[in-house]
Structure 1
Amino acid sequence: MRKPLAAATVLATLALLLGPAATARAGTANPPRILSGTIHASDLVLGPATSRTFFVSFEAEDDSGISRTGAEVILGGPDGRDLRSDPGTTLCTPHSTNPLRSTCRFTFTVRTDPWSLTNAHAGLYRMWALVTSNDFDIPTSEGLTTAYDLDRIRIQRKAQFTADAFPEPPRPGHPLGIVGRLTLADWDNGGYTGAPAGLPVQLVYNADGSSRYEYIANLTTGSGGVIATTTPPRADGIWWLAHNGTDATPWIYSAADHVDMP
């Protein structure tokens, strides 16, 4: 399991953050405890050239209290992409009723462009956290704790979906054709581009006057996100194509196409 930061990098960073005060109680520190972590956002569905800001926090405690600035959160994602909090936004605040416990809060801003998030970076991100106590000792690393997979968030490429039934009306005794295309936000180049082949798609039907939605067939996208299939004609009703989503792509229905039988 990949760790976002090597121990030497962690200690060097904290030495800069905490300065000489970090060794005030060298050799006496106990490990602080990270109690829980939360990403304060639902899954992010981002279009091209889009930015979004959200917050991340964790609860920690130590018998000497938690350092106000000696904490870090990284969101580790696909293709080796690690998201770090915005500079200068980290702050651990002691609880008013229990000064040995603190809430550490971080601000994250993500951007979809070739210099920040690219298409390969869409997917699941896991929360990694580091915290130090007030009696943290840099040379021995006493008073430092890390935790992995405290919470998760999906950062997904916004989708568009078209579908068309033909011919209309269907010819008696002949199947109804359904064609569509699933496209995804192109974080590399802007605009939208065809989805990769192999993504799951379902053909959905709803007869006029019925509250029942029928899943008629399981399909997959072809090259460029194209879907093409045929189905026996049914009573007057509405047809859709549906993608139930992956870690990197959101749930989406195509626009509805109503078909009247001859």
Structure 2
Amino acid sequence: MRIRASVAVVSGALALSALAVPAARADGSQGDTRITKVVVDGGNRVRIGTSGAVTVKVGVTVTDTSGIKGAEDEFEIYGPDGGNATTGKPSCTKVDATTSTCVGSVRIDPRTDHLSDKSAGTWYVDAWINANDDDYLWKEKAGSFSFQRAARLTADAAPEPVEKGGTITVTGALSRADWESLAYAGYGSQSVKLQFRKKNAIGYTTVKTVEADSKGSLKTTVEASADGYYRYSFGGDSGTAAVNSAGDFIDVK
């Protein structure tokens, strides 16, 4: 008999709490079953704001010479500060005779799931997959992904219009989701790029790097050279999502 130690949770539900007791975890395997790929939400980044539920899809690709029978039970995802959730029972689809991709999903709603801000960061996927010949593989860290607080960023370039060679002041603000208060709060002392795109051009280029103040406010100046759009761009970090502001157009005379 295989015995798997875990925290009792509701399938497809979320349990996030600083008081949560971590599950007892230990990898196990039999035979030649291998996990070849784990993809969470298509790009291994989950961004959660302050309102609106997000469905997180976890895909685990597995191979065995006898083919894959299916997942033993739900996938568990877990991270810092006792954060954990379980998907619904995964459904497995054949890729070929030896390989299948098993997919499970869980719905996360910041309004009802009591997320802790400290739970943002690197999370892991715990998966147990069975093969047709009774081989199996259980990995507590089958894959990892970023579980991030959503961010917002604004940019306002002025004056407009402006004489060529004149001074443009670009202000803005960086904020991120506070899961505990269900509001966005300034994210201070972060490096943010000021970028410019000429009128009718395709991409933005970085003009300079600006440091946000302690409240997340941004302000810098540049010399007016051509019609175009200014925006701020934040690259994100382990617990905060990357974000670009909308571009603000400047008419240079």
**TM surpasses 0.5:** yes
CA contact (8 A) 1:114 1:189 kept: no
CA distance in 2, matches of 1:210, 1:45: 30
CA distance in 1, matches of 2:212, 2:3: 43
RMSD, aligned CA: 4.1
Residues 37-58 of structure 1 deviation map (CA, whole Å, 9 limit, x = unaligned):
4335233333213322244344
CA contact (8 A) 1:71 1:132 kept: no
* 3-state secondary structure, aligned to 1:150: strand
Query: What is the count of residue pairs matched by the alignment?
Result: 229
Q: Aligned AA for 2:38? A: T
Find the counterpart in structure 2 of residue 130 from structure 1: 128
* 3-state secondary structure, aligned to 2:215: helix
CA contact (8 A) 1:157 1:249 kept: yes
CA contact (8 A) 1:91 1:106 kept: yes
CA contact (8 A) 1:201 1:220 kept: yes
Q: Aligned in 2, Cα 1:203/1:114: closer, same or farther, shift over 3 Å?
A: same
Residues 143-183 of structure 1 deviation map (CA, whole Å, 9 limit, x = unaligned):
76432543333333333221112344457876322210012
CA contact (8 A) 1:180 1:228 kept: yes
Q: Aligned AA for 1:45? A: R
The sequence identity of aligned pairs, in percent, is 23
CA contact (8 A) 1:49 1:187 kept: no
CA contact (8 A) 2:188 2:217 kept: no
Residues 192-230 of structure 1 deviation map (CA, whole Å, 9 limit, x = unaligned):
2212432x3111122335556331101232222211112
CA distance in 1, matches of 2:59, 2:154: 39
Find the counterpart in structure 2 of residue 235 from structure 1: 226
Deviation at 1:32, TM superposition (A): 6.5
CA distance in 2, matches of 1:91, 1:214: 44
Q: Which moved more, 1:71-80 or 1:156-165?
A: 71-80
Q: Aligned in 2, Cα 1:127/1:154: closer, same or farther, shift over 3 Å?
A: same
CA distance in 2, matches of 1:189, 1:41: 25
Find the counterpart in structure 1 of residue 145 from structure 2: 153
Larger Rg: 1
Q: What is the TM-score of this pair, normalised by structure 1?
A: 0.66
Deviation at 1:240, TM superposition (A): 1.2
The yes-or-no answer on 1:165 pairing with 2:157 is yes
Specify every segment of 5 or more residues in structure 1 that has no aligned partner in the other structure, as ranges: 1-7, 15-28, 137-142
The yes-or-no answer on 1:74 pairing with 2:98 is no
Find the counterpart in structure 1 of residue 198 from structure 2: 207
CA contact (8 A) 1:46 1:156 kept: yes
CA distance in 1, matches of 2:242, 2:229: 19
Q: What is the TM-score of this pair, normalised by structure 2?
A: 0.68
Q: Aligned in 2, Cα 1:151/1:224: closer, same or farther, shift over 3 Å?
A: same
